[in-house]
Structure 1
Amino acid sequence: MLWNFKTPGIPDHLFERLPGIPLSKREVRLLMISALQMEENSVIWDIGAGTGTIPIEIGLLCPNSKIIAVERDEEVANLIRRNCARFEVKNVDVYQGNAPDCLNELAGLPPDRICLEGGRPIKDIMKSVWQYLKPQGKIVATAANLETLYLISEGLAELQTRNIEVVQASVNRLETRGIHQVFAAVDPIFILSGEKL
């Protein structure tokens, strides 16, 4: 097994990647997973799952939970399946579909937690997934730019989300460049979370 530890934080290089497909960096994943506040038997939807890092981390931490990874592109959906196989994660179902249009097909398994990683139109997707989120459920969304931050913030306010938290993660990693070691910044990201009444 590639990751034998009981803690999250799988190194980025252990995941199979495709050019141009985003990967949530390890430090950001730690903050996102913390914000989700999962329970042992949660149902989690990850909308815009990309490389599959969040579903895999959650799948390993909470083997009795059910994770639905939604991705619109067939090649990317297959990438998530391959990464799940690499880490021997069995409780992730990969669903190929375009949110928000595909969400009614998932209605039979309403989520306790929703992770929203990008996607357009972000505000429409947020409002659509909110309808399926169970009471006392949590939503966690990421924004890599101010425009997306504004849209998510506005969406959370319109949905009357309670206990909203916003964290701006700024991470620097030690890298070797030539003969020097320098700290290189990982692109900053905003992590927003809130609860449904």
Structure 2
Amino acid sequence: MLWNYATPGIPDDLFERLPGIPLSKREVRLLILSALRLQKDSVLWDIGAGTGTIPIESGLLCPNAQIIAVERDDEVANLIRHNCNRFGVTNVKVLEGSAPKCLEDLKPKPHRVCIEGGRPIKSILEEVWQHLQPEGRVVATAGNLETLYAISESLSQLQARNIEVVQSAINRLETRGIHQTFAAVSPIFILSGEKL
């Protein structure tokens, strides 16, 4: 097994990747997992699952959870399956489809939803909210001001409660030539809210 620890925080380089496919950096992943507040038997939908980092970390933390990774590109969906196999995660189902349309008949209904880079974000949030179980949580990420505003506005219109917004500010030590220097990881906004 690639990750023999009970804690999250798998190093980025242990995941197989495809060129141009985003990967949630380890430190950002930890913030997202914290915001999700997973329970042992949660149903989690991860929309825009990319490389599969959140479903894999969630699956390892909560082996009794049901996790559905939604990805529109079949090659990327196969990458998620491959990464799940590499880490021995068996409780992740990969759904190929474009949100929000593919969410209409998706079951089981989620306790938690993670949205990473989904477009159109407002439509996705509205559809997710209809399926989210009472007291469920949504966590969404934004890499730019426009997406931050759209998510914030949507959570307000949906009357989400306990809204939290966190911006990551992470620096990693890197070796460049004979020197060690700190390099910034692109900042990400992480927004979360709960359904009544």
| TM-score normalised by the chain length of structure 2 | 0.99
Q: Distance in 1 between matches of 2:117 and 2:123?
A: 12
Match of 1:14 in 2: 14
Match of 1:174 in 2: 173
SS of 2:167 mapped into structure 1: strand
SS of 1:166 mapped into structure 2: strand
Q: Distance in 2 between matches of 1:101 and 1:61?
A: 29
Kindly state the Cα deviation for residue 105 of structure 1 after the two structures are TM-superposed.
2.8
Deviations 1:78-111 (A, max 9, x none): 00000000000000000000000101231x3000
CA contact (8 A) 2:104 2:127 kept: no
Amino acid at match of 1:122: I
Match of 2:75 in 1: 75
Q: Distance in 1 between matches of 2:119 and 2:164?
A: 22
Q: Distance in 2 between matches of 1:130 and 1:166?
A: 18
Q: Distance in 1 between matches of 2:56 and 2:179?
A: 35
Deviations 1:109-166 (A, max 9, x none): 0000000001111111111111100000000000001110000000000000000000
Match of 2:121 in 1: 122
Amino-acid identity (%): 73
Q: Distance in 2 between matches of 1:16 and 1:81?
A: 11
Q: Distance in 2 between matches of 1:185 and 1:105?
A: 41
Q: Distance in 2 between matches of 1:34 and 1:147?
A: 24
1:2-81 aligned within 5 A: 2-81=2-81
1:67-106 aligned within 5 A: 67-106=67-106
SS of 1:24 mapped into structure 2: coil
Q: Distance in 2 between matches of 1:164 and 1:125?
A: 18
CA contact (8 A) 2:45 2:67 kept: yes
Kindly state the Cα deviation for residue 52 of structure 1 after the two structures are TM-superposed.
0.1
Amino acid at match of 1:144: G
Match of 1:195 in 2: 194
Structure 1: 5+ residue stretches without partners: none
Kindly state the Cα deviation for residue 178 of structure 1 after the two structures are TM-superposed.
1.2
Deviations 1:12-64 (A, max 9, x none): 00000000000000000001000011111000000000000000000000000
Amino acid at match of 2:27: E
Structure 2: 5+ residue stretches without partners: none
Q: Distance in 2 between matches of 1:47 and 1:129?
A: 10
Amino acid at match of 1:76: V
| RMSD of aligned Cα (Å) | 0.5
